[in-house]
Chain A
Amino acid sequence: MKTLQKLRENSQQWEKYWRREEVIETIRRFFKDNGFHEVEVPLLLPTVSTEPFLEVFRTELTNDQGKKWPAFLPSSPEFALKKLLSAGSGSIFTITKSFRNGEGRSSRHNPEFTILEWYTTPGDYWTVAGQFEQLMLQINRGKDKLRYQGKEYSLKTPWQRLSVAEAFTKYAGVEVESMLDEAKLKEIGKQKGYLVTAKTTWEEIWNQIFANEIEPKLGQTGPTILYDYPTAQAALAKKAKDPRFAERWELYLAGMELGNCFSELTDYREQETRCKADLAERKKLGKTEYPMDREFIEALKLGMPPTGGIAVGVDRLVALFTDVLAVSETLFFPVEELFDKRNTI
């Protein structure tokens, strides 16, 4: 049954959508009360951020003279926000749409999704963690208990903080030296029964161990902040004290990955190197190609203040607070209802 029909037949169905409205309103109020400015970012861009594994939507901008420009829909508002930070905006946030193409069926993804990003300056990833803790309590109407899919979770602060290195040792029995070493990790992967071939990369086996053995253990009674990722897993984050790691954390709760936070990389040379490497990787993977965003690098060159920043999937957050399993249930027009599977080209 389509969402519209459900809404027509059962007025109780509206409740979760009005809760969605409330969640978004609370987010807005929280940041405005805490001295942030809300900004808008473009959704039609000549080039977009360089994550090698994300596929983008490509279109064309045309004018009345028949001139054409390649144009893209962004997979996150990150570059635009960082340009504003470099220009001196101070702490900012946006609630906007972002797009990811070429993804498979999943209850946790919609190709068009609502994303919250906030950047706090001066600050780092721990400043953001404290803000996220307060924000979640406020969305939960000040209560620290949350029921989701029949299970109770505690949002009581401070949330559990667990480093990636600790998590690998604790849940997968992999010591940090082996975790960071491609040959050793592949050998361990093989022993654990994962398919490891000559083509298997460190990133693949790292993520497979993570997905099978570690992630199911995170955020089971309350939020888990999993922090300090191997540098290869954090293209836009500042290096941590231990230079093998970068200052990145992800928030896990109730089987969901809710946010991805960095102490933002502000060194333009390092950023340029990583963007180039990402674009080369995109080419290798056969993903849509586009030029590097020079304006972004130039902005960093002029100086970006020390900043902690985070991306949060608003649709997942709403799913959590409306107690539904799939993000499509929080949308009036989920993609599978808009695009009939019989109408493929």
Chain B
Amino acid sequence: MTQIKANQLKRDMFVLYKNAPHMVLKCEFYFPGKGSAFARTRLKNVKTGNVYDYTYKSSESVEVVEVETTELQYLYQDGTTYHFMNPQTFEQHEVAEWVFDGKEKFLLPEAKMFFHSYEGEIIGVRFPPKVTVKVIEAASAVAGNSVNAPKKTVKIENGVEVLVPLFVKQGETIIVDTTTGEYVSRA
């Protein structure tokens, strides 16, 4: 097991907190009025999905959990479970919805991405920060809203709505940021 100082914690790391593996969702430097430094974290229990806030002394040692990382390919969705396959071994894996943290709406057919697993269970994903998607529905430029925000809403492949500049047309492919859900550029 590797130990690191709490001030080296970063988002998406896995650590042992109260003897259970947790993913670091957020880690911020914290400086109370007159005092030493602390690391303020938000941790997600990777077995239950429960989220906790915890503030470490920045010099405190934290145990890093060794996770396995494998690339898997998306197959299909079944309720809140998502099925993936290892393209090398053809082994199938189930992934709980919370693992995607809201990004599941950007899962495209056959998409490949890296997953982290711990004791055989998938506990985290390196979701692509950007996806290239097709615009399936777009009204032509809406007049009257062009002074303050020259943008319009379009629908992309999996039915998600994205705010785009007026020049984007139906049938075009665009790049969308999966963290913010915002339009980045034309593909």
Contact = CB atoms under 8 A, between A and B. Distances in A.
B28 A107 contact: yes
B149 interface: yes
Interface residues of A, number: 32
B79 interface: no
Contact of A211 (B27, B32, B34): B32
B7 A104 contact: yes
B35 A203 contact: yes
Interface in A252-271: 257, 260
A195 interface: yes
Contacts of A234: 34
Contacts of B27: 105
A106 interface: yes
A114 B26 CA distance: 25
A34 interface: no
Interface stretch (B53-61, B80-88, B152-160): B53-61
Contacts, number: 73
Given A195-B57, A216-B53, A250 B33 contact: yes
Interface in B1-46: 7, 18, 27-40
A45 to B, nearest CB: 20
Interface string A171-201: 0000000000000000000000101000011
Contact of B28 (A53, A106, A208): A106
Given A104-B7, A105-B28, A105-B29, A207 B35 contact: yes
A257 B35 CA distance: 14
A212 B36 contact: no
A152 B151 CA distance: 30
Given A10-B149, A12-B149, A208 B31 contact: no
B48 interface: no
A204 B61 CA distance: 14
A250 B33 CA distance: 8
22 contacts: A12-B148, A51-B34, A53-B31, A53-B35, A104-B7, A104-B37, A104-B39, A106-B29, A106-B30, A106-B31, A107-B28, A109-B29, A204-B35, A207-B32, A208-B38, A210-B32, A211-B38, A211-B55, A233-B33, A234-B34, A235-B34, A260-B33
Interface of B: 7, 18, 27-40, 53-58, 60-61, 147-149, 151, 165
Top 9 closest pairs, chain A to chain B, by CB: A104-B29, A211-B55, A106-B29, A106-B28, A207-B35, A207-B32, A212-B55, A195-B60, A12-B148
